[in-house]
Structure 1
Amino acid sequence: MIRWRAGVVESERNRWNGAVEYAVRLAEQDRTVRALAYTDVVGEPVAGDRVLLNVSALERGLGTGGLALVVAIPDRLPQDPADGPGHVVKARYTPVQTMVLGADEQESPHHDLLREADSVHGMPVVVADLHSAVPAVIAGLRADAAAAPRVAYVMSDGGALPIAFSRTVAQLREAGWIVGAVTVGQAYGGDLEAVNVHTGLLAARLVLEADVVVLSQGPGNLGTGTRWGFSGVAAGEALNAAHVLGGRPVASLRVSEADARERHRGISHHSRTAYGRVALVPADLPVPLLDGSLGALVDRQASELVDATGGRLRRHDVELTGLREALQLSPVPLRTMGRDLDADAASFLAAAAAGRYTAGTLG
């Protein structure tokens, strides 16, 4: 199931918080590949180090995951971490399982705050299918605000598990667009760790003191071309969690004007399934007022989605004036499924519309 390779580090190519990309020479194949090391997990290789690589995604030519991953530096193992609190194991029972301090566990300084916590006190939770929607949602949140809201990002485990894989999160944090990130489920590496989406939302509200949460899976959406076989079904479950905890669930629509696949044109079937079938609670549905035939398609699909839920989803039409300019201020390059803002503007405008609507609900 894993394709293994051994190689030698030639040089460092790039680095960001928690991750370093290297050029690694595979002697047996006489080629150089891009390889990513999560430094908190495997240590930090240097030029000349022999490394063991997992090349499964690279060999299959996958987009988001198309890198070799450093599994170990066998001749120079990292030192053991300092003894400390924390017994929450993530990526459990895999060869790279890691132990972290959960915000909600007994040894945490936040345990007393979270032990009986049962509400996020009306906090809006904007749920998106794709990780690429996160900066666009936040751009919309900031577009009309006199003062930018405190935004926390909650990363679920449907995509990448290490948050260090996301340069988006690193850049959003550096730019001050988020006050912190919480990794939940099997995902790890956030400013706070939590056992599940529920405690992650509570930690974002009560520990990070967020005004708004944006929640999505990490990079690397998994889909099989079937009605139910995609990792984004968890978006519906996240709306349920937000409602149960007394939050305001907001369903950010996945929209495309450029996807060649019919099931993703206009409002993606991912949104229609997750919000229409998996979510079981009332939620706000911001609908972008797009122009032309695409706008007509999205309008019809949104009406069908609301009707199918018996009005459980509350439709809110959102004007888009000024949102493209807001998106252009993003500190993060906007890219979804290989397409940038110019190639698939509707995708980012729909996410920004969810942010603009949510900003209007803040007191």
Structure 2
Amino acid sequence: MRALAYTAMVGRPELGDRVVLNASALLKGLGTGGLAFVVAVPDRLPADPPPSEGHIVKARYTPQQQMFLAVDEQDSPHHATLREADSLDGMPVVVADLHSALPAVVAGVRLARPDARVAYVMTDGGALPIAFSRAVAGLKDAGWLAETVTVGQAFGGDHEAVSLHSGLLAARHVVDADVVVVAQGPGNVGTGTPWGYSGVAAADALHAVHVLGGTGIASLRVSGADPRPRHRGISHHSTTAYGKALLSPALVPVPAPGLQAAQAPEPMHEPEPAHEPAGDPVTGVGRRGDELYALVREQARDLAESSRAELEVVEVGTDGVLDALRGSPVGLSTMGRSLDEDPAPFVAAAVAGILAAERAD
């Protein structure tokens, strides 16, 4: 079977090595955690790591716990900055519940403001090692992400932070970001119950943004092709997080075809020709897409009226958005569907990025 080894933890396995595997999630056929992982190469252990000043332990009290120098701890060169920092100064922060939204949000930011400095703050609701995300690696290689911050039990970013709050402050005052995207790592856990899914933490992230004086932007989870009715249009995950769990103000961007939008930048690779997909009545492209986005806007207004929080629905134009998404340096896929198979989730995430870029200093 295929297995993944985090070489910083277990060393680099070689052909013929005997390895200890954790294959529990793989054997259950799960998507989240559904790989075999190398726990150890027992006959050839890696060298001890070099001494480090850091003392912040992540993946705590597990055999694979790691120790890092966190951006906010006493030995950090940024400790004095973060000891005094207590405000995001209005910085726009896009919060999404799925990791797959990240490249689409960044594409939207770059469509409206190509020179924006974007930071990614990864929470610990999904994968804990940021190294698991090929999207993050590709976005950084392309220069689309300036730096990353891993918070809570997540680890491996350009900066480590103990809490989401200090991670956000680091993105502002250490990374000097114009826009921040907050989302869990790859792997979303859901149980089919209203509250039993990891994305509900999007509300907590928006609370942190509000407490720190940032501009919270709630990216909607949207689909035009998901066979489950509860995820068509605006997903019930978004209506729960933003309609029931959220208590602080936030902006809710919705796609509005026909409104003026920024021009798309030159694509990173040759874009695929646009076409009108057949079969699905609400695919997110052309006339059928207009119908879907009209439904999304109506659902968003209903969400704002019923939410405990003060939500402002903001219509954002979609001119150039599909071209910007096709120019992404990393593949776009969510719930096993590509951009062509279900454009709606990526368009909804991209307009959140556009709004953030428009609200940045």
Give 2:83's aligned residue: 115
1:67-146 to 2 correspondences below 5 Å: 67-145=35-113
Distance, in Å, in 2 between the alignment partners of 1:193 and 1:287 is 32
- The answer on 1:335 being equivalent to 2:303 is no
Structure 1 segment 341-352 matched on structure 2, within 5 A: 341-352=339-350
Distance in 2 between residues matched to 1:222 and 1:125, nearest whole Å: 23
Residue 198 of structure 2 corresponds to which residue in structure 1? 231
Matches within 5 A, 1:146-225: 147-225=114-192
Q: Which residue of 2 aligns with 1:241?
A: 208
Q: For residues 134-185 of structure 1, what are the alpha-carbon distances to aligned partners after superposition, in whole Å with 9 as ceiling and x for unaligned? A: 000000001132x420000000000000111101111111110011110000
Residue in 2 aligned with 1:323?
321
For residue 20 of structure 2, the aligned residue among 48, 52, 56 is 52
Contact 2:246-2:308 at 8 Å conserved across structures? no
Question: 1:313 is matched by which residue type in structure 2?
Answer: L
Tell me if structure 1 keeps the 8 A contact 2:26–2:34.
Answer: yes
Deviation at 1:65, TM superposition (A): 2.8
Q: Secondary structure at the match of 1:348?
A: helix
Secondary structure at 1:171 match in 2? helix
Other structure's SS at 1:50 match: coil
Residue 193 of structure 1: SS of its match in structure 2?
strand
Worse-matched range after superposition: 336-345 or 293-302: 293-302
1:311 Cα deviation from its structure 2 partner? 6.9
> Identity percentage over the alignment?
64
Cα distance, 1:66 vs structure 2: 2.4
For structure 1, the residue ranges without an aligned partner over 5 or more in a row are 1-32
User: Which has the bigger relative contact order, CA under 8 A and spacing at least 6?
Assistant: 2
Structure 1 runs of 4+ aligned residues shifted over 2 Å read 63-66, 289-293
Farther off after superposition, 307-316 or 226-235: 307-316
Measured after TM superposition, the shift of residue 108 of structure 1 is: 0.9
SS in 1 for 2:238: helix
The Cα offsets for residues 103-151 of structure 1, whole Å up to 9 and x where unpaired, read as 1011111111111210111111000010000000000001132x42000
1:296: how far off? 3.1
AA matched with 1:252: S
1:1-12 equivalence runs, <5 A? none
Gaps spanning 5+ residues in structure 2: where? 258-288
The farther-off stretch of 352-361 and 212-221 is 352-361
Residue 309, structure 1, aligned to residue 293, structure 2: no
1:300 corresponds to which letter in structure 2? Answer: E
- Kindly provide the CA deviation profile for residues 176-205 of structure 1, in whole angstroms up to 9, marking residues without a partner as x: 001111000000010000011100001111
1:264 corresponds in structure 2 to 231
Determine helix, strand or coil for the equivalent of 1:243: helix
CA separation of 1:354 and 1:35: change in aligned 2, threshold 3 A: same
Deviations 1:197-245 (A, max 9, x none): 1000011111111111001000000000000000001101000101111
Scaled by the length of structure 1, the TM-score of the pair is 0.89
**How many pairs align?**
330
CA shift for structure 1 position 87: 0.9
Mapped contact 2:108–2:350 kept (Cα < 8 A): yes
Q: Match for residue 269 of structure 2? A: none
Task: Give the C-alpha shift of residue 292 in structure 1.
Answer: 4.1
